[in-house]
Chains A and B, each alone.
Chain A
Amino acid sequence: MILKTPEKNTHQYGKVEGTGYQSPEVWSKVTGKAVYGIDLAMPGMLHGKILRSPHPHARIKKVDTTAAKALPGVRAVLTGAELENRPFGIAVEDELPLAVDSVRYIGDEVAAVAAVDLRTAERAIKAIKVEYEELPAVYDPSEALQVGAPQLHDNFPGNVAWQREMERGSSDAVFAGADLVVEENFTIPAINATYLEPIACVAVDDPYTGITLHTALQSPDAVRNIVAKALNYPLSKVNINGPVMGGGFGGRVYGNLKVYILSALLAINSGSPVKIQLTREEEFTAGRPMIAAAIKMKMAVKSDGTILGREADIITDNGAYSGQAPWVSKTLSERNDSVYRIPSIKTRVRLAYTNKIPTGQYRAYGNQAANFAAESLIDMAAKKLGLDPLEMRLKNCVREGDITVHGLKIGKCGLSECLQAAAREIGWDHKKTGRGYGLSVAIHANGSLVFDKKFRGASALARLELDGRVTLFSGEQDYGQGTHAAFAQIAARALDVNPSQVTVESKETKTAPFSTGALAMRQTTVGGKAIQLAAEDLREKIFKAAAELAGEPVTMGNGVLYSITGQNLELAEIAYHYHNTTSGLSLTGEGKFVPEESDYDESGYGNISVAYSYAAHAVEVEVDKTTGALTINRLVAAHDSGRIVNHLTSRGQVYGGVAQGIGMSCFEGYLFDEGRVANASLVDYKIPTALDLPEIKPLFIEVEDPAGPYGSKGLGEIVMVPVLGAVANAAADAAGVWITDLPLTAEKIYQAMAGWECEI
């Protein structure tokens, strides 16, 4: 018996509400047949477990594994001292597979064990005796930057993991001549991506093929490089084979490198496949949340609302190891500057090491954290000047043809239309009494040209199979965001076939084309463009082969080729003809999208992306004056992501991204107690449930942008960015006071309304 497949979906770009092609994988997911990382098992597989530091900062004096090794069923016990232990990292190589001399956070990896079952592995972990000498620790990033603070890494004096100072224009003069200067301090906690499936990895070591890691990653090629280097294996001897991924949201771009490296080392040392699976608690205490930030920001404006300049002094909390935090800090510190015509900028950002959980990244890469600060400041200025926040935004927002303060070239841009549409839909001109209203805007890049200056684009292959179907080979991963459905639609459009005739293959790094990864909102624009080019190349090759077979010119329609004399040629016939005449080759189209090099200079000025997406959100809220409780009634999300490839999945991206933005606005965030994560469960770290969300209205302002495939651009990250500023502004409008410390809990709003903090 064969399950029903979604044949009835239209193969055109879905314009009609409720329609849209979906990858056939949704059927295996909804029936429980999809195999995720946690479901994997192999013959002879062992279970790995990691011993973690109970101290925020300590010297390791002695590790005794004798008792653990003697336990029946234990097959490998690893400590830092016994390993070659090559340093590795993402932005900075500041990590070791296992700690040798010191531990730097509660959760730091000290030893790893593989045993015949999980219970034995857990017993073995408990049997390892570690003697520590506790060291002074530092938890607050601004304290960490002070002279005399406990030092985490010898090669990073002053606990500065990364820093940057930049000035564009002359800020002092601009601020001296301003009609109004608004200034505020904002704080944003660390945020957990909270993908629902905990990270799991099965490592298999084979003397001939090398290491295979069965684990789901957004950026398997990047992780492959790091793992190969950490293991000192040739790159071709490391393969990552992805099962179905239970959510990513940026958290699985690099996932948890320790899990991959340690499962590989345990597999090598035990000679058996080893599975390490994080518990939910480990995800919260030893995962890689997005950095917390303290943003001191001020803005100079003219009395008519024209923005003259902005200054920011930002401290971000790296935790014990860097991960992607330098890059996240960079985006956090500058991306928001490019959504308005701001002539001058002066920014300092410092990323500080602290004895807390190391950090990684999360959907929107800090752009949403800065949105909270920058967009709150716009409304603060508008209120002081007696201006309409909508008018002030419309006056300043970027438009097509602009070059922003950081050198971003604004191409096709529907930002002002997004603002007007969102405001209209929320009822900006006929606000209800007793409600608060807020707006916010965002810009987000579609892939980075400067992430790796030598590698800027994407490539793909499109192969005509012998049965006439088409297989796309791409390194771009789909974990439910709809990338593969979009790719099938793009190729189907180029080839004039139904998308259900197209399969996307991206599973293994050893066979898939290289990809930078599902990050930086690059997949539709950059990866999709490569798909379009590959499909167009295949189309040309099909025409050539068909003309050869027919002996006369051909045209194509609905997946069938017609010769001028009326011969019909099926794609399968052409595939076979080529196969026979080449002794087995397949008709294969190659697509390589190589964007122009960026003019990015040493100061970071330049056009960093092939295209940008835009958004404006409008929110209506109510605040209970007796409790401070914030209720979001409605949120309108207007997006210019170019032409929408698939309205069904795009709406899903908006609903889901807005939900994450609301979680971050209203209740999410890490809490710490002396370096220990104080809310390491899904009960204490609350994410939105079905009862916590307002009515969300997606609006698509489809300004076609030739940069992307058939005018389409990225959507997946920008969806959460404006939520933060819009909710904060609406809450302030309703409460009459500003909350500048996320999340906007009832307690904080109540205290502010009671006059315990500054009033407007």
Chain B
Amino acid sequence: MNNLKKQVLIFQLNGEPMGILADPAESLLTILREKLGLYGTKAGCGKGECGACTVLLDDRAVNSCLVPAGKVQGRKVETIENLSQGGKVHPIQEEFVEKGAVQCGFCSPGMVMSAHALLKENPQPNPEQVRVAISGNLCRCSGYKQIEEAILSAAEKM
């Protein structure tokens, strides 16, 4: 019944062109999960406080729950699903497992995407830069130590 508000949104999603009819005021998170079935991006608060819904918008980490869908028009969106395609696992993900950085795993997709954005911009970060980059991603399980180790180790290997 709200079709009047809907627009055709065209953007690049995980390297492929995507066009959908959606309410531009809906959050990108809702579009990804409920319209496109990309459930890898998690929803922990819906208010930009926890970082579980982190995706890359034009290579920068954003809380997808705070991004109105209309804002992705003509831009590039990357989600966790893009990192392990074709049977290959991204080195960040490999190091997350190797270092024991995954416990309940609910923060992991968002955490991996924040790390991915960091390493795109700064391929050799120091520990402090890693901590700053993931400071918007809450994790209640890990105390962040093994996550930090994983990201530093991935940076070395990439």
If A660-B140, A690-B135 touch, whether A196 touches B145 (CB-CB below 8 Å) is no
A636 to B74, CA, bound (A): 51
The distance from the CB of B2 to the nearest CB of chain A, in whole angstroms, is 10
A658 to B145, CA, bound (A): 11
Chain A contact-residue range equals 35 or more
Q: Which residues of A contact B102 (CB under 8 A)?
A: 22, 26, 29-30, 480
If A27-B97, A30-B96 touch, whether A196 touches B112 (CB-CB below 8 Å) is no
Chain B contact-residue range equals 35 or more
If A30-B102, A690-B148 touch, whether A280 touches B47 (CB-CB below 8 Å) is yes
**Contact status A4-B89, CB under 8 Å:** yes
A-facing residues in B105-121 (Cβ within 8 Å): 105-109, 112
Q: Which residues of B contact A27 (CB under 8 A)?
A: 89, 97
Point out which of B33, B84, B109, B141 has the most chain A C-beta atoms below 10 A from its C-beta.
B141
**Contact status B87-A38, CB under 8 Å:** no
The distance from the CB of B33 to the nearest CB of chain A, in whole angstroms, is 8
Does any Cβ of A come within 8 Å of B156's Cβ?
Answer: no
Q: Which residues of A contact B158 (CB under 8 A)?
A: none
Does any Cβ of B come within 8 Å of A689's Cβ?
Answer: yes
Does any Cβ of B come within 8 Å of A448's Cβ?
Answer: no
Closest residue on chain B to residue A251 by CB atoms? B140
**Contact status B145-A696, CB under 8 Å:** yes
A18 to B94, CA, bound (A): 14
Does any Cβ of B come within 8 Å of A16's Cβ?
Answer: no
Does any Cβ of A come within 8 Å of B142's Cβ?
Answer: yes
Over the window 174-211 of chain A, the binary record of Cβ atoms lying under 8 Å from chain B Cβ atoms (1 yes, 0 no) is 00000000000000000001111110000000000000
A1 to B148, CA, bound (A): 29
A26 to B46, CA, bound (A): 25
Q: Which residues of B contact A659 (CB under 8 A)?
A: 142-144
Which of B47, B86, B104 is within 8 Å of A245, CB to CB?
A: B104
Does any Cβ of B come within 8 Å of A567's Cβ?
Answer: no
Q: Which residues of B contact A28 (CB under 8 A)?
A: 105
Which of B99, B103, B147 is within 8 Å of A690, CB to CB?
A: B147
Over the window 128-145 of chain B, the binary record of Cβ atoms lying under 8 Å from chain A Cβ atoms (1 yes, 0 no) is 001110111111111111
The distance from the CB of A691 to the nearest CB of chain B, in whole angstroms, is 5
Which of B39, B43, B104, B132 is within 8 Å of A32, CB to CB?
A: B39
Does any Cβ of B come within 8 Å of A509's Cβ?
Answer: no
B-facing residues in A188-236 (Cβ within 8 Å): 193-198
Which of A6, A29, A248, A657 is within 8 Å of B105, CB to CB?
A: A29
Which of B39, B79, B145 is within 8 Å of A39, CB to CB?
A: B39
Q: Which residues of B contact A482 (CB under 8 A)?
A: 103
Does any Cβ of B come within 8 Å of A603's Cβ?
Answer: no
B-facing residues in A1-25 (Cβ within 8 Å): 1-4, 6, 18, 20, 22, 25
Q: Which of A104-112, A123-131, A419-427, A644-652 binds B?
A: A644-652
Which of B33, B42, B89, B99 is within 8 Å of A31, CB to CB?
A: B89
The distance from the CB of A479 to the nearest CB of chain B, in whole angstroms, is 5
A654 to B49, CA, bound (A): 25
Q: Which residues of A contact B140 (CB under 8 A)?
A: 193-196, 247, 249, 656, 660, 687
**Contact status B44-A196, CB under 8 Å:** yes
**Contact status B108-A29, CB under 8 Å:** yes
The distance from the CB of B117 to the nearest CB of chain A, in whole angstroms, is 15
B-facing residues in A344-403 (Cβ within 8 Å): none
Which of B46, B87, B139, B148 is within 8 Å of A196, CB to CB?
A: B139
**Contact status A38-B100, CB under 8 Å:** no
The distance from the CB of B87 to the nearest CB of chain A, in whole angstroms, is 3
Does any Cβ of B come within 8 Å of A655's Cβ?
Answer: yes
A36 to B41, CA, bound (A): 11
The distance from the CB of A121 to the nearest CB of chain B, in whole angstroms, is 15
Q: Which residues of A contact B148 (CB under 8 A)?
A: 690
Does any Cβ of A come within 8 Å of B18's Cβ?
Answer: no
A693 to B109, CA, bound (A): 22
A451 to B51, CA, bound (A): 38
**Contact status A195-B84, CB under 8 Å:** no
Q: Which residues of A contact B141 (CB under 8 A)?
A: 247, 480-481, 652, 656
A279 to B52, CA, bound (A): 14
Does any Cβ of B come within 8 Å of A147's Cβ?
Answer: no
Q: Which residues of B contact A649 (CB under 8 A)?
A: 100
**Contact status A687-B103, CB under 8 Å:** no
A313 to B83, CA, bound (A): 56
If A32-B81, A196-B104 touch, whether A38 touches B147 (CB-CB below 8 Å) is no
A-B contact pairs, 29 of them (CB 8 A): A3-B84, A4-B89, A20-B100, A27-B89, A29-B104, A30-B89, A30-B105, A32-B80, A196-B42, A196-B139, A198-B44, A279-B46, A280-B47, A479-B104, A482-B103, A649-B100, A651-B100, A652-B100, A652-B103, A652-B141, A652-B146, A654-B143, A656-B103, A682-B50, A690-B134, A690-B148, A691-B132, A691-B135, A693-B144
Question: Which B positions have Cβ atoms within 8 angstroms of A?
Answer: 33, 39-47, 49-50, 52, 79-81, 83-84, 86-87, 89, 93-94, 96-100, 102-109, 112, 130-132, 134-148
Given contacts A29-B102, A32-B108, A33-B40, 15 further A-B contacts (CB under 8 A): A20-B100, A27-B97, A31-B83, A32-B41, A32-B79, A197-B44, A246-B42, A246-B104, A279-B46, A280-B44, A480-B104, A648-B99, A655-B144, A655-B145, A682-B50
